[in-house]
Structure 1
Amino acid sequence: MARIRNGQLRRDFKRLLAIIADSREPDYAEVERIAKRNGLYYDEKGEVKEERK
């Protein structure tokens, strides 16, 4: 099993897993913030895309 070594990325991944597992309505704003922090975004169709630099 490959481990995530970057501390911030590991925390983001753990938080996303917690959001997915929560039975309440997910906090989409937090998910979008995490995605943006990691160079990702959701397009108009809701698909995850990488930001271009």
Structure 2
Amino acid sequence: MQNRKKNMIETNDVLLVHEQDQPIGEMEKLDAQYQDHLHRALSVFILNEQGELLPQ
């Protein structure tokens, strides 16, 4: 499992899921978005004390 996670991070892959959120495969993030596949995603926003967004 650890190797799979590391590989997904290195290749920018996302986990594809079906309508009940069960994993069904992996795909490169941009391909999954352009082909309108359901996938798990997480966004993190970091703000400084002035409320400014830290660019990623």
TM-score by structure 2 length? 0.32
Q: More relative contact order in 1 or in 2 (CA 8 Å, sep 6+)?
A: 2
Structure exhibiting the larger radius of gyration computed from Cα positions: 2
More strand by share: 2
